[in-house]
């Protein structure tokens, strides 16, 4: 089992940057595919990015390609989401997730953090 805690959210102006971190407990972090999802009020949970167990392969949603980067540090049991050129439509609660299958479908992830709010003002 793994426990996840996100940090780094906040209020930022459009065009700004934020770096989200997700710290994982346990010694099996490197055995999980890690993902970031987001959910805005009244909307479904949306895939943002995922990274393979080794960190060598990443996937990004089309809406964030060229602006966001996902990475992981298995020695530190941490996954990151670097968000640049933020837009008001990026406003959401961002969730970190761990799964043995991974992918862009949220039900393929087994463990979730409580989320961190990101608000982008225009």
| pLDDT tens digits, one per residue of 60-118 | 999 999 999 999 999 999 999 999 999 999 999 999 999 998 899 999 999 999 999 99
Residue 15: left (phi > 0), alpha (psi -120 to 50), or beta? left
Residue 54: left (phi > 0), alpha (psi -120 to 50), or beta? alpha
Could you report the per-residue pLDDT of 12-60, keeping only the tens digit for each? Answer: 999 999 999 999 997 799 999 999 999 999 999 999 999 999 999 999 9
Exposed / middle / buried, residue 63 (Cβ in 10 Å: 0-12, 13-18, 19+): middle
User: In the chain, count of helices (H) and strands (E)?
Assistant: 0, 11
What percentage of the chain exceeds 70 in pLDDT?
100
Q: How confident is the model at residue 8 (pLDDT cuts 50, 70, 90)?
A: very high
pLDDT of residue 1: 84
């Amino acid at each position: 089992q793994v426990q996840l805690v996100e940090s780094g959210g906040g209020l930022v102006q459009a065009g700004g940057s934020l770096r989200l971190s997700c710290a994982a407990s346990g010694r099996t972090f490197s055995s999980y595919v890690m993902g970031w999802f987001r959910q805005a009020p009244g909307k479904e949970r949306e895939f943002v990015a995922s990274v393979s167990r080794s960190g060598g392969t990443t996937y990004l949603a089309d809406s964030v390609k060229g602006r966001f980067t996902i990475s992981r540090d298995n020695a530190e049991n941490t996954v990151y989401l670097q968000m640049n050129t933020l837009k008001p439509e990026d406003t959401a609660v961002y969730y970190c997730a761990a799964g043995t299958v991974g992918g862009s479908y949220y039900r393929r992830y087994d463990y979730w953090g409580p989320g961190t709010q990101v608000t982008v003002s225009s």
